[in-house]
Homo-oligomer: A and B are copies of this chain.
Amino acid sequence: MCDTMDLPFETYLPVWNKLTAAQRQQISGSTARRTVKKGTILHNGSMDCTGLLIVKSGQLRAYILSEAGREITLYRLFDLDICLFSASCIMRSIQFEVTIEAEKDTDLLVIPAKIYKGIMEESAPAANFTNEIMASRFSEVMWLLEQILWKSFDKRLAGFLLEESALEGTDFLRITHEIIGSHLGNPREVVTRMLRYFQSEGMVRLSRGTVEILDRGKLHGLCTE
């Protein structure tokens, strides 16, 4: 933690200009900076309510975990995104648990849950801002649900490879079949089988721990057909 009074909160918290002077002071007086290494678990069901996380730089991943340890990625958070579910205690109707992990080294601002909850209770702009964040995440989960229900696995895998490639800015993905499977909620074997099919079609080239995208157009065609 360090002094954060100098931070440009209006950049990180779009509702800032609609808060009262007292509310701003509460936030700036309590917000902490936090730097976490890739792989850090920032929040899960058994942890205390961590608070509202604002990504200054880096990347977070929200996922759900089965009892057997399988992971399904719900959504990712990038620079300036706000993580609401790490402060899920502020709303009693949130009856589910997500795990939040730093997927890259990440710089965060942490607004304590209690402070944010207090402001939300008295400020309509803050409450409506929170509503919009939740609606965005809800929309991402609905998209995922539709993918799972209706898109066949080849389409989902093609979409995933293109998305990873866009995120990493390279066609040369260092990722194992195991990890792809845990992102998509499928066993490794199914991923390997489909990747080999993609390779046989000239869409990718596989080697140990890597997937190279060779034919972006063909993968894209799969997703949109």
* Chain A contacts with B in 38-57, Cβ cutoff 8 A: none
Cβ of A132: which chain B residues have Cβ within 8 Å of it? 91-93
| Contact yes or no, A93 B150, CB < 8 A | no
The chain B residue sitting closest to A124, CB to CB, is: B124
Binary per-residue interface labels of chain A (88-132) against chain B in the complex, 1 for a CB within 8 Å, 0 otherwise: 000111111000000000000000000000001111101110111
Q: In the bound complex, do residue B124 and residue A120 qualify as a contact, i.e. CB atoms below 8 Å apart?
A: yes
Q: Are A138 and B149 in contact (CB under 8 A)?
A: no
Question: Quick check: B141 and A64 within 8 Å, CB to CB?
Answer: no
Q: Across the interface, which residues of B come within 8 angstroms of A144, CB to CB?
A: 145
Of A120, A135, A142, the most chain B CB neighbours within 10 A belong to A135
Q: Would you call A145 and B134 a contact (CB within 8 A)?
A: no
> Shortest beta-carbon distance, A149 to chain B, in Å?
6
Q: A141-B142, A143-B96 given as contacts; is B150 within 8 A of A148 (CB)?
A: no
Cβ contact within 8 Å between A95 and B145? no
Q: A64-B145, A66-B150, A145-B141 are in contact. Are A94 and B128 (CB under 8 A)?
A: no
Q: Which 4 A-B pairs have the closest CB atoms?
A: A127-B127, A93-B135, A95-B139, A96-B142
Residues of A within 8 A of B (CB): 64, 66-68, 70, 72, 91-96, 120-124, 126-128, 130-139, 141-146, 148-150, 185
